[in-house]
């Protein structure tokens, strides 16, 4: 898949992932909107797909840009933790960015087979395995960017592989138990997890004429800021 310097389809994917994340977190504002869990399952796999798309078009000469990318993720992983804990009641895991940091290291180790990259990838995988319970989406969430990268330029049906990884990353006992009892929201969430990579790949390949506002480095700040905004809304409607 040919990718230009500024890919409108990739920007669109990022905006839609952001919107899905906000919809998902609206469930914690105070209203009974559990059905938003279903579109919310698009956010994480689409962010992982965007990461894979960025890695796929970066050559060795542009490797320094990936270090900057990693640096921004690390910075906002730390910044976001306090707003995340203020907004999410009794969180069991860290915010999602540490998962993306480790996922970037693992996928980058595959994309750039240098000794340094490979050692960092192995270290990231070991950390993910040891601290899976503390990471949002766990060990399989860390593997999802790599799964996306492996099938990025392959026929669309290969995207079912990262769909299975995405299902494993969402392996919450409550979710599977509810699905077995016929809960529509749980079943819808599982279906979205399975097909989200396929939908994302389809969008990247067929929405190139779309020109949304470019999502640049300032967009990292939207993650902690959206927690603070939703926290304010929750206090206003309480």
What per-residue string of b and e applies to 144-179 under the rule 16 or more CB within 10 Å gives b?
Answer: bbbbbbbbbeeeeebbeebbebbbbbbeeeebeebb
191/41 Cα distance (integer angstroms): 9
CB–CB of 28/89 below 8 Å?
yes
Instruction: Please determine, for residue 232, whether its predicted confidence score (pLDDT) is greater than 60.
Output: yes
Q: Which residue is listed with tokens 């969180």?
A: 91
6 pLDDT band, cuts 50/70/90, is confident
Q: Which residue is listed with tokens 């839609």?
A: 16
34/31 Cα distance (integer angstroms): 9
CB–CB of 39/192 below 8 Å?
yes
| pLDDT at residue 62 in the model | 55
| DSSP one-letter string for the chain | ----SS-HHHHHHHHHHHHHHHHHHGGGSSS--GGGHHHHTTHHHHHHHHHHHHHHT--GGGHHHHHHHHHHHHHHHHHHHHHHHHHSSS-SS--HHHHHHHHHHHHHHHHS--HHHHHHHHHHHHHHHHTGGGSTTHHHHHHHHHHHHHTTTS-GGGGHHHHHHHHHHT--HHHHHHHHTT-HHHHHHHHHHHHHHHHHHHHHHH-TT--PPP--GGGGGHHHHHHHHHHHHHHHH-
CB atoms within 10 A of CB 188: 16
**41-91 confidence digits (pLDDT tens):** 999 999 999 999 989 886 644 556 677 889 999 999 999 999 999 999 889
Residue 114, phi-psi category: left (phi > 0), alpha (psi -120 to 50), beta (remainder):
beta
**87-121 confidence digits (pLDDT tens):** 998 899 999 999 999 999 999 999 888 899 999 99
Least confident of 111-115, 184-188, 202-206: 111-115
Instruction: Please determine, for residue 187, whether its predicted confidence score (pLDDT) is greater than 80.
Output: yes
| pLDDT at residue 223 in the model | 97
The residue-averaged pLDDT of 13-22 equals 97
């Amino acid at each position: 898949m040919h990718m230009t310097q500024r890919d409108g389809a990739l920007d669109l994917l990022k905006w839609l992932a952001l919107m899905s994340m906000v919809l998902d977190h609206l469930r914690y504002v105070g209203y009974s909107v559990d059905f938003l869990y279903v579109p919310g399952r698009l956010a994480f796999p689409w962010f992982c797909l965007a990461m894979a798309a960025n890695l796929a078009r970066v050559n060795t000469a542009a490797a320094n840009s990936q270090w900057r990318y990693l640096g921004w993720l690390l910075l906002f992983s730390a910044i976001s933790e306090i707003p995340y804990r203020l907004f999410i009641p009794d969180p069991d895991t860290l915010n999602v960015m540490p998962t993306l940091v480790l996922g970037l290291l693992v996928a980058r180790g595959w994309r750039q087979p240098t000794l340094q990259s490979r050692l960092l990838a192995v270290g990231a995988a070991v950390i993910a395995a040891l601290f899976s319970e503390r990471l949002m989406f766990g060990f399989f969430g860390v593997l999802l960017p790599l799964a996306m990268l492996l099938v990025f330029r392959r026929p669309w049906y290969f995207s079912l592989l990262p769909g299975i990884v995405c299902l494993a990353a969402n392996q919450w006992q409550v979710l599977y138990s509810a699905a077995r009892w016929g809960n529509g929201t749980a079943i819808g969430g599982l279906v979205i997890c399975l097909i989200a990579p396929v939908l994302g790949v389809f969008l990247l390949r067929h929405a190139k004429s779309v020109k949304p506002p470019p999502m640049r480095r300032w967009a990292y700040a939207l993650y902690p800021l959206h927690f603070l905004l939703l926290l304010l809304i929750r206090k206003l409607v309480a």
